[in-house]
Structure 1
């Protein structure tokens, strides 16, 4: 599957210049194994959680959970229920995903819904809000590996944002994503 250029990502990057707090995640973890899902639900009053796919849950363009993340993924679904866990990808579930074949494969593999949406992150928050209605945005967490798409998306929509700063692999990722994330990944 080939992704089209993310013009929304480019345009919205300029929002960060005007409001740098949009690029600040609420929580930073290495990967989803370091998220305390029970704490999010019980102490932070989070009722639903959205995830980016590539390099957050799976290797780029792969539809199966990255093996070391299996137990954390299972814990997340048990904590929130599969109806309250959602994948929001800039590949699967978009117009780039012909007949939503990748979304369907991912749903079968990961056991949760993939949001169908017309706008790539960081735009398109209304699609997540509509899907999770009546859960308010402030009771939704959004998890992703990219600051200028995932964190910006969540912060623009009033979600609790969690940045997974360690990517699964650069292998197989598209060149634009690799170039855009070089700065984001250099956190040490």
Structure 2
């Protein structure tokens, strides 16, 4: 048990798959790190518009997207948005995380089950860390192709790259809290943000999504709107 916990602690800080992927992004696939949509948090997403456009499910990252890092509790201000999302997409709402549900670090699914109980959203069990891997496990879970799914996360080089490579609509949120993150994670986050900002200013864009070519149509001006 202690060895599994140690691997999880180290692995969540050093994503070797992510590092390898970053090499390819920096050399030739910079646009893969650019999200279709950027919002302060999920309260700015118009779930009803996305449902109307033909999307069938939503996949959330966990840490700093819907919970603060290493917490199993939903960040309270997001509850109404999560509930609205679930009311529209039903059971096709899930968490796809590099911590809870990743079999390498959560082999007995203890953390995945605890998270499901705490937030009322299913956690997808999987074997590969984002951004590596295909969307087959998620498509199988949701019963539809990834074209009709939305990937929401706070990290450009993991959540957004994974989503863009696999045909999702990608939504980048700002982190909920940096206080709990290790220093090295905060430093990598700053580097990612700087690179994405620079590439966006240079005119790089993700591949257009066929269900919502003008992706800002799904963004609300206010979290109360």
Q: Confirm or deny a common fold (TM above 0.5).
A: yes
Residue 40 of structure 2 corresponds to which residue in structure 1?
30
The match for 1:62 is: 71
Query: In the alignment, does 2:98 pair up with 1:90?
Result: yes
Shift of 1:167: 1.0
Distance verdict in 2 for CA 1:114–1:176, change over 3 Å: farther
Measured on the aligned residues, the alpha-carbon RMSD in Å equals 1.6
Partner of 2:108, secondary structure, is helix
Equivalent residues of 2:156, 2:193 under 8 A apart: no
Residue 141 (1) aligns with residue 146 (2): no
Q: Does the 8 Å CA contact 1:117/1:124 hold for their aligned counterparts? A: no
Name the SS of the counterpart of 2:17 in structure 1. helix
1:174 deviation in Å?
A: 3.7
124-133 vs 137-146, which deviates more?
Answer: 124-133
1:112 aligns with 2:152: no
User: What is the match of residue 177 of structure 2?
Assistant: 169
Equivalence map 1:120-159=2 (5 Å): 120-125=129-134, 126-133=136-143, 135-159=144-168
What residue ranges of structure 2 are gaps of 5+ in the alignment?
198-225
- Matched length: 183
TM-score by length of 1: 0.91
Q: Do the aligned partners of residues 3 and 78 (structure 1) sit closer, same or farther apart at CA in structure 2, a change above 3 Å counting?
A: farther
How does the TM-score come out when normalised to structure 2? 0.77
Contact kept in structure 2, 1:60 and 1:172, CA below 8 Å: yes
Q: CA deviation at 1:31?
A: 0.3
Q: Distance in 2 between matches of 1:129 and 1:3?
A: 29
> What residue in structure 1 maps to residue 50 of structure 2?
40
